[in-house]
């Protein structure tokens, strides 16, 4: 097989599966480790993919700007890295904490795995998150009000006004993308004030960012990356990207692949 054919085959696998590892390239194409890494480097230089710690993901996976799924009906497939990040985030919550939990998919996984042996108060702007938490006797819920969007979330001035009257021990947030230079970023401007209000009201801000979101830049910056106190990510995240966050004094936590 010519190198060009192998590169196209690698891109086909990325399109189909959403990721590829250097070990998989070695097995499928009978090449050495150095050759597999070189293939990914060449394809990254051409703009076709982004290298991760153990392989690569397609650039379009995050560049498409598709919003996260946030309804019970939409959340069908539990991605291993999202679930692992959610479990790590839950382990940080302590008895009597007041926490804000993002309405994104990783936040929904958090609500499903909150422990039953501690009492906590959760603040959310999502009726989906609130409905999940309503089943838990040890969790009290503050639901932020305002004009609701089609995903059951409130981000408007009414919600922001409520946030300013609250203080969180920890807030767990995410965004479409994060990079050391551009910070947390999204596609729409409407929620910028909301997220900054959440961060301003929190003693500790924890970013939940799977590999798919790291090292990329969306249209609009919410805030600098160093407004995070901690960033939780997964085993495939690029070491170069994580080193840049570390240089900004952000505590980086990498969850392991179970």
State the alpha helices, DSSP H only, in the chain. Answer: 3-17, 22-29, 33-45, 60-63, 80-92, 105-112, 127-133, 157-164, 192-200, 239-247
Q: Are strands 220-223 and 183-186 parallel, antiparallel or unpaired?
A: antiparallel
Per-residue pLDDT for 39 more than 70? yes
**Average pLDDT of the residues in 207-235:** 94
3-state secondary structure of 148: strand
Q: For the residues 77-84, what does the mean pLDDT come to?
A: 79
For the ranges 105-109, 217-221, 222-226, 238-242, the maximum mean pLDDT occurs at 222-226
* CATH classification of the domain holding 112: 3.40.50.1360
Is a pLDDT exceeding 70 seen at residue 246? yes
Whether residue 231 is predicted with pLDDT greater than 80 in this model: the reply is: yes
Other CB atoms within 10 Å distance of the CB of residue 200: 14
- The whole-angstrom separation of Cα 245 and Cα 175 is 16
Regarding whether 97 and 184 lie in a shared domain, the answer is yes
Domain residue limits at 7 = 3-58
Work out whether the CA dihedral 172, 177, 183, 185 comes out positive or negative. Answer: negative
Q: What was the pLDDT predicted at 80? A: 85
Same domain, 53 and 84: no
HSE-CB for 29 with a 13 A CA cutoff: 26
Q: 194 and 100, same structural domain?
A: yes
Tell me the three state secondary structure of residue 251: strand
Beta bridge partners of 57: 50
Q: In this predicted structure, what is the pLDDT of residue 258?
A: 67
pTM of the model: 0.77
Residues 155-205 have pLDDT tens digits of 999 999 999 999 999 999 999 999 999 999 998 898 999 999 999 999 999
Same domain, 175 and 206: yes
pLDDT tens per residue, range 104-122: 999 999 999 999 999 999 9
- Tell me how many domains the chain contains: 2
Q: What is the mean pLDDT of residues 133-145?
A: 95
| Whether residues 44 and 135 fall in one domain | no
């Amino acid at each position: 097989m010519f190198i060009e054919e192998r590169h196209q085959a690698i891109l086909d696998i990325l399109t189909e599966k959403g990721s590829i590892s250097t070990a998989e390239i070695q097995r499928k194409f009978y090449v050495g480790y150095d050759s597999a890494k070189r293939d990914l480097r060449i394809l990254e230089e051409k703009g076709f993919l982004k290298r991760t710690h153990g392989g690569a993901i397609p650039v379009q996976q995050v560049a498409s700007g598709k919003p996260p799924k946030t309804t019970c009906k939409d959340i069908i497939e539990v991605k291993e890295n999202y679930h692992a990040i959610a479990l790590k985030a839950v382990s940080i919550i302590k008895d009597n904490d007041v926490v804000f939990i993002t309405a994104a998919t990783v936040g929904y996984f958090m609500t499903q795995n909150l422990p039953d042996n501690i009492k906590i108060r959760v603040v959310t702007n999502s009726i989906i998150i609130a409905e999940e938490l309503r089943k838990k006797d040890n969790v009290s819920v503050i639901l932020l009000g305002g004009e609701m969007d089609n995903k059951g979330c409130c981000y408007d001035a009414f919600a922001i006004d409520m946030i300013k009257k609250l203080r969180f021990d920890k807030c767990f947030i995410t965004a479409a993308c994060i990079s050391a230079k551009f910070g947390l970023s999204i596609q729409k401007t409407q929620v910028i004030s909301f997220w900054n209000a959440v961060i301003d009201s929190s003693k500790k801000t924890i970013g939940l960012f799977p590999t798919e979101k790291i090292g990329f830049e969306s249209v609009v910056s919410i805030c600098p990356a160093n407004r995070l106190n901690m960033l939780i990510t997964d085993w495939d995240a690029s070491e170069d990207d994580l080193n840049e966050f570390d240089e900004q004094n952000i505590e980086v936590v990498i969850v392991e692949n179970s």
